[in-house]
Structure 1
Amino acid sequence: MNSIVILGAGNVAFHLTRALIENTLNVRQIFNRTLEKAREIGEANRISYTDKISEIEKADLYIIACADSGIEEFSHYIPFDDVLVVHTSGSSPMSVLKGDYRKGVLYPLQTFSKERTLRYDNIPFFLEAEDPNDLKRLNDLANRISNEVHQLDFAGRMQVHMTGVWANNFVNHLYYIAGDICEKNNLPFDVLLPLIQETANKVIEMSPKDAQTGPAKRGDQVIINRHLEALEDDSRLLQIYQILTDSIKRVYEK
Protein backbone atom coordinates (compact mmCIF):
# COMPACT_ATOMS: atom_id res chain seq x y z
CA MET A 1 0.00 0.00 0.00
CA ASN A 2 1.55 3.29 -1.09
CA SER A 3 -0.54 5.48 1.22
CA ILE A 4 -2.82 4.96 4.21
CA VAL A 5 -5.38 7.12 6.03
CA ILE A 6 -6.65 6.05 9.45
CA LEU A 7 -10.12 7.04 10.61
CA GLY A 8 -10.45 6.99 14.39
CA ALA A 9 -8.22 8.04 17.25
CA GLY A 10 -8.81 5.55 20.03
CA ASN A 11 -6.55 2.84 21.41
CA VAL A 12 -6.53 0.69 18.27
CA ALA A 13 -5.89 3.66 15.98
CA PHE A 14 -3.09 4.87 18.26
CA HIS A 15 -1.22 1.56 18.20
CA LEU A 16 -1.98 0.66 14.58
CA THR A 17 -0.59 4.01 13.43
CA ARG A 18 2.58 3.39 15.41
CA ALA A 19 2.91 -0.19 14.14
CA LEU A 20 2.51 0.88 10.51
CA ILE A 21 4.97 3.75 10.77
CA GLU A 22 7.54 1.66 12.66
CA ASN A 23 7.46 -0.74 9.72
CA THR A 24 7.99 2.07 7.20
CA LEU A 25 4.43 2.08 5.88
CA ASN A 26 3.15 5.43 4.65
CA VAL A 27 0.42 6.67 6.99
CA ARG A 28 -0.53 10.05 5.53
CA GLN A 29 -3.33 11.25 7.78
CA ILE A 30 -5.46 10.71 10.88
CA PHE A 31 -9.13 11.65 10.76
CA ASN A 32 -11.33 11.83 13.83
CA ARG A 33 -14.50 13.70 14.71
CA THR A 34 -12.74 15.10 17.80
CA LEU A 35 -9.79 17.19 16.64
CA GLU A 36 -7.87 16.97 19.92
CA LYS A 37 -7.71 13.18 19.71
CA ALA A 38 -6.61 13.27 16.07
CA ARG A 39 -3.97 15.86 16.98
CA GLU A 40 -2.56 13.61 19.72
CA ILE A 41 -1.80 10.81 17.26
CA GLY A 42 -0.86 13.11 14.39
CA GLU A 43 1.67 15.15 16.33
CA ALA A 44 3.15 12.08 18.04
CA ASN A 45 3.83 10.54 14.63
CA ARG A 46 4.48 13.72 12.62
CA ILE A 47 1.61 13.17 10.20
CA SER A 48 -1.31 15.36 9.21
CA TYR A 49 -4.64 15.18 11.02
CA THR A 50 -8.11 16.62 10.62
CA ASP A 51 -11.67 16.52 11.93
CA LYS A 52 -13.16 17.75 8.64
CA ILE A 53 -14.61 15.22 6.19
CA SER A 54 -13.85 17.57 3.31
CA GLU A 55 -10.13 17.40 4.17
CA ILE A 56 -9.79 13.60 4.07
CA GLU A 57 -6.90 12.92 1.70
CA LYS A 58 -6.86 10.49 -1.21
CA ALA A 59 -5.03 7.27 -0.34
CA ASP A 60 -4.76 3.63 -1.40
CA LEU A 61 -6.05 2.23 1.90
CA TYR A 62 -8.44 3.60 4.52
CA ILE A 63 -8.45 1.88 7.91
CA ILE A 64 -11.52 2.54 10.07
CA ALA A 65 -10.29 1.95 13.62
CA CYS A 66 -13.15 3.00 15.87
CA ALA A 67 -15.80 1.45 18.11
CA ASP A 68 -18.10 -1.00 16.34
CA SER A 69 -21.02 1.37 16.78
CA GLY A 70 -19.24 4.01 14.68
CA ILE A 71 -17.96 1.92 11.76
CA GLU A 72 -20.96 2.40 9.49
CA GLU A 73 -21.02 6.17 10.04
CA PHE A 74 -17.29 6.48 9.39
CA SER A 75 -17.65 4.34 6.27
CA HIS A 76 -19.85 7.04 4.70
CA TYR A 77 -17.12 9.68 5.12
CA ILE A 78 -14.81 8.27 2.43
CA PRO A 79 -15.64 10.04 -0.85
CA PHE A 80 -13.54 7.87 -3.17
CA ASP A 81 -14.60 4.74 -5.09
CA ASP A 82 -11.32 3.34 -6.43
CA VAL A 83 -9.82 2.63 -2.99
CA LEU A 84 -9.73 -0.16 -0.40
CA VAL A 85 -11.52 0.46 2.91
CA VAL A 86 -11.19 -1.90 5.88
CA HIS A 87 -12.34 -1.92 9.48
CA THR A 88 -10.52 -3.44 12.45
CA SER A 89 -13.41 -5.11 14.28
CA GLY A 90 -13.58 -8.76 15.26
CA SER A 91 -17.36 -8.89 15.63
CA SER A 92 -18.66 -6.70 12.80
CA PRO A 93 -19.16 -8.07 9.27
CA MET A 94 -17.45 -6.58 6.24
CA SER A 95 -20.91 -5.56 5.01
CA VAL A 96 -21.10 -2.81 7.66
CA LEU A 97 -18.92 -0.78 5.26
CA LYS A 98 -21.45 1.09 3.09
CA GLY A 99 -19.49 2.86 0.34
CA ASP A 100 -19.00 1.86 -3.30
CA TYR A 101 -15.29 1.26 -2.72
CA ARG A 102 -13.57 -2.12 -2.29
CA LYS A 103 -13.96 -3.61 1.19
CA GLY A 104 -12.02 -5.69 3.68
CA VAL A 105 -11.16 -6.36 7.32
CA LEU A 106 -7.85 -6.02 9.19
CA TYR A 107 -8.49 -7.32 12.72
CA PRO A 108 -5.68 -7.41 15.31
CA LEU A 109 -6.32 -9.73 18.27
CA GLN A 110 -4.89 -7.79 21.20
CA THR A 111 -5.94 -5.57 24.07
CA PHE A 112 -4.83 -2.00 23.34
CA SER A 113 -4.23 0.87 25.76
CA LYS A 114 -2.41 4.04 24.78
CA GLU A 115 -0.41 3.92 28.01
CA ARG A 116 1.13 0.55 27.18
CA THR A 117 4.10 -0.18 24.92
CA LEU A 118 3.47 -3.28 22.82
CA ARG A 119 5.37 -5.66 20.63
CA TYR A 120 3.55 -5.70 17.32
CA ASP A 121 5.37 -8.58 15.65
CA ASN A 122 3.53 -11.26 17.66
CA ILE A 123 0.00 -9.82 17.45
CA PRO A 124 -2.28 -12.12 15.40
CA PHE A 125 -3.98 -10.37 12.48
CA PHE A 126 -7.12 -11.80 10.84
CA LEU A 127 -7.89 -10.67 7.30
CA GLU A 128 -10.86 -10.69 4.95
CA ALA A 129 -11.50 -8.97 1.61
CA GLU A 130 -14.04 -9.06 -1.20
CA ASP A 131 -11.36 -9.25 -3.88
CA PRO A 132 -8.51 -11.82 -3.86
CA ASN A 133 -6.06 -9.15 -4.99
CA ASP A 134 -7.01 -6.96 -2.04
CA LEU A 135 -6.64 -9.92 0.30
CA LYS A 136 -3.09 -10.34 -0.99
CA ARG A 137 -2.42 -6.63 -0.44
CA LEU A 138 -3.69 -6.84 3.12
CA ASN A 139 -1.66 -9.99 3.69
CA ASP A 140 1.50 -8.24 2.49
CA LEU A 141 0.79 -5.27 4.74
CA ALA A 142 0.00 -7.35 7.83
CA ASN A 143 3.14 -9.43 7.32
CA ARG A 144 5.18 -6.22 7.46
CA ILE A 145 3.88 -5.79 11.02
CA SER A 146 3.38 -9.28 12.42
CA ASN A 147 4.60 -12.86 12.11
CA GLU A 148 1.09 -14.15 12.84
CA VAL A 149 -1.30 -13.46 9.94
CA HIS A 150 -4.45 -15.45 9.09
CA GLN A 151 -7.28 -15.27 6.57
CA LEU A 152 -10.69 -15.72 8.20
CA ASP A 153 -14.30 -14.99 7.32
CA PHE A 154 -16.75 -13.16 9.57
CA ALA A 155 -18.14 -16.26 11.30
CA GLY A 156 -14.67 -17.44 12.26
CA ARG A 157 -13.49 -13.95 13.17
CA MET A 158 -16.42 -13.47 15.54
CA GLN A 159 -15.51 -16.71 17.31
CA VAL A 160 -11.92 -15.50 17.66
CA HIS A 161 -13.12 -12.19 19.06
CA MET A 162 -15.34 -14.00 21.56
CA THR A 163 -12.37 -16.06 22.77
CA GLY A 164 -10.62 -12.76 23.41
CA VAL A 165 -13.55 -11.59 25.53
CA TRP A 166 -13.32 -14.79 27.58
CA ALA A 167 -9.53 -14.75 27.91
CA ASN A 168 -9.05 -11.02 28.45
CA ASN A 169 -12.14 -8.96 29.24
CA PHE A 170 -13.78 -11.42 31.63
CA VAL A 171 -10.49 -12.32 33.28
CA ASN A 172 -9.64 -8.66 33.80
CA HIS A 173 -13.07 -8.13 35.39
CA LEU A 174 -12.29 -10.96 37.80
CA TYR A 175 -9.06 -9.13 38.67
CA TYR A 176 -11.23 -6.11 39.47
CA ILE A 177 -13.47 -8.21 41.74
CA ALA A 178 -10.46 -9.71 43.50
CA GLY A 179 -8.93 -6.25 43.92
CA ASP A 180 -12.17 -4.88 45.36
CA ILE A 181 -12.25 -7.69 47.93
CA CYS A 182 -8.61 -6.94 48.80
CA GLU A 183 -9.40 -3.26 49.30
CA LYS A 184 -12.37 -4.01 51.56
CA ASN A 185 -10.05 -6.14 53.70
CA ASN A 186 -7.24 -3.57 53.80
CA LEU A 187 -4.96 -5.61 51.55
CA PRO A 188 -3.03 -4.23 48.56
CA PHE A 189 -3.82 -5.70 45.15
CA ASP A 190 -0.07 -6.35 44.85
CA VAL A 191 -0.38 -9.46 47.03
CA LEU A 192 -2.11 -11.12 44.06
CA LEU A 193 0.49 -10.21 41.44
CA PRO A 194 2.79 -13.26 41.91
CA LEU A 195 -0.27 -15.51 41.61
CA ILE A 196 -1.51 -13.69 38.51
CA GLN A 197 1.93 -13.86 36.91
CA GLU A 198 2.36 -17.56 37.61
CA THR A 199 -1.13 -18.31 36.25
CA ALA A 200 -0.25 -16.52 33.01
CA ASN A 201 3.12 -18.26 32.79
CA LYS A 202 1.58 -21.69 33.26
CA VAL A 203 -0.87 -21.40 30.37
CA ILE A 204 2.04 -20.50 28.08
CA GLU A 205 3.75 -23.78 28.96
CA MET A 206 0.78 -26.11 29.51
CA SER A 207 -2.89 -26.36 28.56
CA PRO A 208 -5.42 -24.37 30.63
CA LYS A 209 -7.13 -27.63 31.53
CA ASP A 210 -3.91 -29.05 32.98
CA ALA A 211 -3.07 -25.75 34.69
CA GLN A 212 -6.33 -25.54 36.65
CA THR A 213 -6.08 -25.77 40.45
CA GLY A 214 -8.35 -24.85 43.35
CA PRO A 215 -11.31 -26.18 45.34
CA ALA A 216 -13.70 -26.54 42.39
CA LYS A 217 -11.27 -28.78 40.51
CA ARG A 218 -10.61 -30.84 43.66
CA GLY A 219 -14.32 -31.03 44.45
CA ASP A 220 -13.62 -29.57 47.90
CA GLN A 221 -17.17 -28.66 48.89
CA VAL A 222 -16.17 -27.69 52.45
CA ILE A 223 -13.99 -24.82 51.17
CA ILE A 224 -16.53 -23.89 48.49
CA ASN A 225 -19.28 -23.61 51.12
CA ARG A 226 -17.10 -21.37 53.29
CA HIS A 227 -16.55 -19.03 50.35
CA LEU A 228 -20.26 -19.01 49.53
CA GLU A 229 -21.08 -18.14 53.14
CA ALA A 230 -18.58 -15.27 53.01
CA LEU A 231 -20.39 -13.92 49.93
CA GLU A 232 -23.93 -14.18 51.32
CA ASP A 233 -24.28 -10.39 51.57
CA ASP A 234 -23.41 -9.85 47.89
CA SER A 235 -25.83 -11.73 45.65
CA ARG A 236 -24.01 -10.68 42.46
CA LEU A 237 -20.65 -12.09 43.54
CA LEU A 238 -22.36 -15.14 45.02
CA GLN A 239 -23.92 -15.88 41.62
CA ILE A 240 -20.64 -15.35 39.73
CA TYR A 241 -18.74 -17.59 42.16
CA GLN A 242 -21.35 -20.34 41.90
CA ILE A 243 -21.51 -20.23 38.09
CA LEU A 244 -17.72 -20.41 37.72
CA THR A 245 -17.44 -23.14 40.34
CA ASP A 246 -20.10 -25.25 38.62
CA SER A 247 -18.40 -24.74 35.24
CA ILE A 248 -15.03 -25.92 36.59
CA LYS A 249 -16.64 -28.89 38.31
CA ARG A 250 -18.26 -30.04 35.07
CA VAL A 251 -14.90 -30.04 33.28
CA TYR A 252 -13.25 -32.29 35.88
CA GLU A 253 -16.12 -34.57 36.87
CA LYS A 254 -15.24 -38.21 36.36
Structure 2
Amino acid sequence: MILEAHGKQHYEEGTGYFKNTLKKNKVNDAQKRKLALDHGIAAERYLEINCKKSETEAIKADLLRSSLSQILKCDLAGLDWIELTKAAWKSEKLNILEMSVKNPEMSVRALAEHFGVSRDLVKEVQVNAGIYNSQKERKLGVKRQQVRYHHRTQARNEKIRQLKKDRPQASTQEIAELVGMERHAVYRILKQSGLYDEQAEKQNKNFKISMSKKRIKDCDIQTICQMKQDHPLLSAREAGRLTGHSHSTILSVWREFGLA
Protein backbone atom coordinates (compact mmCIF):
# COMPACT_ATOMS: atom_id res chain seq x y z
CA MET A 1 0.00 0.00 0.00
CA ILE A 2 1.12 3.56 -0.75
CA LEU A 3 -0.36 6.56 1.05
CA GLU A 4 0.39 10.01 -0.39
CA ALA A 5 -0.35 13.00 1.87
CA HIS A 6 -0.90 15.97 -0.43
CA GLY A 7 -0.50 19.46 1.00
CA LYS A 8 -1.99 22.72 -0.24
CA GLN A 9 0.57 23.07 -3.04
CA HIS A 10 -0.95 20.00 -4.76
CA TYR A 11 -4.37 21.70 -5.10
CA GLU A 12 -3.76 25.45 -5.35
CA GLU A 13 -1.19 27.70 -6.97
CA GLY A 14 1.33 28.79 -4.38
CA THR A 15 3.03 32.11 -3.75
CA GLY A 16 6.59 33.18 -3.06
CA TYR A 17 8.91 30.16 -3.00
CA PHE A 18 6.12 27.87 -4.28
CA LYS A 19 4.81 30.16 -7.02
CA ASN A 20 4.03 28.45 -10.35
CA THR A 21 4.54 24.92 -8.93
CA LEU A 22 0.94 23.62 -9.15
CA LYS A 23 1.26 22.28 -12.70
CA LYS A 24 4.58 20.61 -11.89
CA ASN A 25 3.14 19.00 -8.75
CA LYS A 26 0.15 17.61 -10.66
CA VAL A 27 2.44 16.11 -13.32
CA ASN A 28 4.63 14.56 -10.62
CA ASP A 29 1.59 13.16 -8.79
CA ALA A 30 0.32 11.52 -11.99
CA GLN A 31 3.76 10.06 -12.74
CA LYS A 32 4.11 8.62 -9.21
CA ARG A 33 0.69 7.03 -9.40
CA LYS A 34 1.40 5.50 -12.83
CA LEU A 35 4.78 4.20 -11.63
CA ALA A 36 3.16 2.54 -8.61
CA LEU A 37 0.41 0.90 -10.70
CA ASP A 38 2.96 -0.26 -13.28
CA HIS A 39 4.86 -2.00 -10.47
CA GLY A 40 1.88 -3.98 -9.26
CA ILE A 41 0.29 -1.70 -6.67
CA ALA A 42 -3.50 -2.08 -6.94
CA ALA A 43 -5.37 1.17 -7.63
CA GLU A 44 -7.44 0.78 -4.45
CA ARG A 45 -4.21 0.45 -2.43
CA TYR A 46 -2.74 3.70 -3.78
CA LEU A 47 -4.27 6.37 -1.54
CA GLU A 48 -4.00 10.12 -1.97
CA ILE A 49 -5.09 12.01 1.15
CA ASN A 50 -6.07 15.67 1.00
CA CYS A 51 -3.97 17.48 3.61
CA LYS A 52 -4.65 20.94 2.22
CA LYS A 53 -5.92 21.86 5.68
CA SER A 54 -3.73 20.84 8.60
CA GLU A 55 -6.63 20.56 11.06
CA THR A 56 -7.08 17.06 12.46
CA GLU A 57 -10.81 16.90 11.66
CA ALA A 58 -10.23 17.70 7.97
CA ILE A 59 -7.54 15.03 7.57
CA LYS A 60 -9.55 12.55 9.65
CA ALA A 61 -12.61 13.02 7.43
CA ASP A 62 -10.58 12.35 4.28
CA LEU A 63 -8.97 9.25 5.80
CA LEU A 64 -12.37 7.87 6.83
CA ARG A 65 -13.66 8.40 3.28
CA SER A 66 -10.75 6.39 1.89
CA SER A 67 -10.36 2.61 1.81
CA LEU A 68 -7.67 2.71 4.51
CA SER A 69 -9.96 1.11 7.13
CA GLN A 70 -10.60 -1.88 4.86
CA ILE A 71 -6.92 -2.22 3.95
CA LEU A 72 -5.74 -2.07 7.58
CA LYS A 73 -8.81 -3.94 8.81
CA CYS A 74 -9.32 -1.58 11.69
CA ASP A 75 -11.85 1.02 12.80
CA LEU A 76 -10.16 4.36 12.17
CA ALA A 77 -13.10 6.24 13.66
CA GLY A 78 -12.49 4.54 17.00
CA LEU A 79 -8.86 5.65 17.31
CA ASP A 80 -7.76 8.23 19.88
CA TRP A 81 -7.36 11.12 17.46
CA ILE A 82 -6.25 13.50 20.20
CA GLU A 83 -3.18 11.38 20.95
CA LEU A 84 -2.54 10.96 17.24
CA THR A 85 -2.68 14.74 16.84
CA LYS A 86 -0.12 15.23 19.62
CA ALA A 87 2.26 12.79 17.94
CA ALA A 88 1.70 14.40 14.54
CA TRP A 89 2.29 17.83 16.05
CA LYS A 90 5.77 16.75 17.20
CA SER A 91 6.41 15.22 13.80
CA GLU A 92 5.28 18.40 12.05
CA LYS A 93 7.74 20.48 14.02
CA LEU A 94 10.51 18.10 13.00
CA ASN A 95 9.42 18.42 9.36
CA ILE A 96 9.47 22.21 9.63
CA LEU A 97 12.94 22.09 11.14
CA GLU A 98 14.19 19.70 8.46
CA MET A 99 12.92 21.86 5.61
CA SER A 100 14.30 25.01 7.28
CA VAL A 101 17.77 23.45 7.41
CA LYS A 102 17.65 22.04 3.88
CA ASN A 103 16.24 25.26 2.38
CA PRO A 104 17.92 28.17 4.21
CA GLU A 105 16.79 30.58 1.47
CA MET A 106 13.11 29.99 2.31
CA SER A 107 11.39 32.62 4.43
CA VAL A 108 9.27 31.93 7.49
CA ARG A 109 6.25 33.02 5.43
CA ALA A 110 7.02 30.51 2.65
CA LEU A 111 7.50 27.66 5.14
CA ALA A 112 4.24 28.54 6.91
CA GLU A 113 2.37 28.51 3.59
CA HIS A 114 3.93 25.17 2.64
CA PHE A 115 2.93 23.43 5.87
CA GLY A 116 -0.35 25.31 6.27
CA VAL A 117 0.61 26.58 9.71
CA SER A 118 1.09 29.98 11.32
CA ARG A 119 4.29 31.96 10.89
CA ASP A 120 4.57 32.12 14.67
CA LEU A 121 4.91 28.32 14.82
CA VAL A 122 7.65 28.25 12.16
CA LYS A 123 9.50 31.08 13.93
CA GLU A 124 9.17 29.24 17.25
CA VAL A 125 10.71 26.09 15.75
CA GLN A 126 13.60 28.03 14.22
CA VAL A 127 14.26 30.09 17.37
CA ASN A 128 14.31 26.95 19.55
CA ALA A 129 16.74 25.32 17.12
CA GLY A 130 18.93 28.44 17.04
CA ILE A 131 18.62 28.92 13.28
CA TYR A 132 16.22 31.87 13.12
CA ASN A 133 17.83 34.69 11.12
CA SER A 134 16.02 37.98 11.69
CA GLN A 135 18.27 39.85 9.25
CA LYS A 136 17.46 37.39 6.48
CA GLU A 137 13.74 37.69 7.21
CA ARG A 138 13.93 41.50 7.01
CA LYS A 139 15.74 41.33 3.68
CA LEU A 140 13.20 38.86 2.29
CA GLY A 141 10.38 41.08 3.57
CA VAL A 142 11.83 44.11 1.79
CA LYS A 143 12.25 42.03 -1.36
CA ARG A 144 8.59 40.94 -1.22
CA GLN A 145 7.50 44.55 -0.85
CA GLN A 146 9.66 45.57 -3.80
CA VAL A 147 8.14 42.83 -5.94
CA ARG A 148 4.59 43.85 -4.94
CA TYR A 149 5.38 47.51 -5.65
CA HIS A 150 6.86 46.59 -9.03
CA HIS A 151 3.76 44.59 -9.97
CA ARG A 152 1.43 47.41 -8.86
CA THR A 153 3.49 49.95 -10.80
CA GLN A 154 3.49 47.78 -13.92
CA ALA A 155 -0.28 47.29 -13.70
CA ARG A 156 -0.85 51.02 -13.18
CA ASN A 157 1.41 51.97 -16.09
CA GLU A 158 -0.31 49.45 -18.35
CA LYS A 159 -3.70 50.90 -17.39
CA ILE A 160 -2.50 54.41 -18.33
CA ARG A 161 -1.09 53.19 -21.64
CA GLN A 162 -4.30 51.34 -22.46
CA LEU A 163 -6.43 54.40 -21.63
CA LYS A 164 -4.36 56.49 -24.04
CA LYS A 165 -4.65 53.84 -26.75
CA ASP A 166 -8.42 53.61 -26.25
CA ARG A 167 -8.80 57.41 -26.11
CA PRO A 168 -6.06 58.90 -28.30
CA GLN A 169 -7.60 62.38 -28.10
CA ALA A 170 -7.73 62.39 -24.30
CA SER A 171 -5.40 64.88 -22.65
CA THR A 172 -2.77 63.97 -20.10
CA GLN A 173 -4.80 65.80 -17.47
CA GLU A 174 -7.96 63.81 -18.28
CA ILE A 175 -6.11 60.50 -17.98
CA ALA A 176 -4.48 61.67 -14.74
CA GLU A 177 -7.92 62.38 -13.28
CA LEU A 178 -9.21 58.95 -14.36
CA VAL A 179 -6.40 57.09 -12.59
CA GLY A 180 -6.10 59.49 -9.64
CA MET A 181 -2.52 60.58 -10.32
CA GLU A 182 -0.61 63.81 -10.83
CA ARG A 183 -0.45 65.06 -14.42
CA HIS A 184 3.36 65.15 -14.51
CA ALA A 185 3.56 61.46 -13.47
CA VAL A 186 1.16 60.42 -16.26
CA TYR A 187 3.07 62.63 -18.71
CA ARG A 188 6.33 60.82 -17.82
CA ILE A 189 4.77 57.38 -18.35
CA LEU A 190 3.23 58.34 -21.70
CA LYS A 191 6.47 60.00 -22.81
CA GLN A 192 8.54 56.93 -21.94
CA SER A 193 6.04 54.71 -23.77
CA GLY A 194 6.06 56.90 -26.89
CA LEU A 195 2.34 57.63 -26.47
CA TYR A 196 2.54 61.31 -25.57
CA ASP A 197 0.89 63.28 -28.40
CA GLU A 198 1.94 66.93 -28.26
CA GLN A 199 -0.43 67.86 -31.09
CA ALA A 200 -3.40 66.34 -29.28
CA GLU A 201 -2.39 68.19 -26.10
CA LYS A 202 -2.39 71.53 -27.96
CA GLN A 203 -5.75 70.78 -29.55
CA ASN A 204 -7.21 69.91 -26.15
CA LYS A 205 -5.84 73.11 -24.64
CA ASN A 206 -7.24 75.28 -27.46
CA PHE A 207 -10.59 73.47 -27.25
CA LYS A 208 -10.84 74.08 -23.51
CA ILE A 209 -10.01 77.77 -23.94
CA SER A 210 -12.61 78.05 -26.71
CA MET A 211 -15.27 76.34 -24.58
CA SER A 212 -14.41 78.51 -21.61
CA LYS A 213 -14.75 81.66 -23.72
CA LYS A 214 -18.15 80.48 -24.91
CA ARG A 215 -19.24 80.02 -21.32
CA ILE A 216 -18.35 83.62 -20.44
CA LYS A 217 -19.87 85.21 -23.54
CA ASP A 218 -23.03 85.78 -21.58
CA CYS A 219 -21.00 87.30 -18.78
CA ASP A 220 -19.74 90.82 -18.87
CA ILE A 221 -16.54 90.46 -20.93
CA GLN A 222 -16.32 94.22 -20.79
CA THR A 223 -15.81 93.96 -17.02
CA ILE A 224 -12.86 91.61 -17.54
CA CYS A 225 -11.33 94.05 -19.99
CA GLN A 226 -12.08 97.02 -17.74
CA MET A 227 -10.26 95.30 -14.87
CA LYS A 228 -7.11 95.21 -16.99
CA GLN A 229 -7.50 98.79 -18.09
CA ASP A 230 -7.99 99.99 -14.52
CA HIS A 231 -5.20 97.80 -13.16
CA PRO A 232 -2.54 97.33 -15.88
CA LEU A 233 -0.33 95.28 -13.54
CA LEU A 234 -3.13 92.83 -12.75
CA SER A 235 -2.12 89.30 -13.73
CA ALA A 236 -4.40 86.87 -15.56
CA ARG A 237 -4.17 84.51 -12.61
CA GLU A 238 -5.33 87.20 -10.18
CA ALA A 239 -8.14 88.19 -12.52
CA GLY A 240 -9.10 84.54 -12.77
CA ARG A 241 -9.42 84.28 -9.01
CA LEU A 242 -11.63 87.36 -8.98
CA THR A 243 -13.91 86.18 -11.79
CA GLY A 244 -13.87 82.42 -11.27
CA HIS A 245 -12.37 81.69 -14.70
CA SER A 246 -9.06 80.08 -15.58
CA HIS A 247 -6.09 82.37 -16.10
CA SER A 248 -5.69 80.99 -19.64
CA THR A 249 -9.24 82.07 -20.47
CA ILE A 250 -8.69 85.55 -19.01
CA LEU A 251 -5.44 85.85 -20.95
CA SER A 252 -7.16 84.77 -24.15
CA VAL A 253 -9.84 87.46 -23.72
CA TRP A 254 -7.25 90.15 -23.05
CA ARG A 255 -5.26 89.12 -26.11
CA GLU A 256 -8.37 89.22 -28.24
CA PHE A 257 -8.94 92.83 -27.20
CA GLY A 258 -5.28 93.81 -27.39
CA LEU A 259 -4.80 94.10 -23.65
CA ALA A 260 -2.08 91.46 -23.26
TM-score (norm 2): 0.31
Computing the radius of gyration from Cα coordinates, the structure with the larger value is: 2
TM-score (norm 1): 0.31
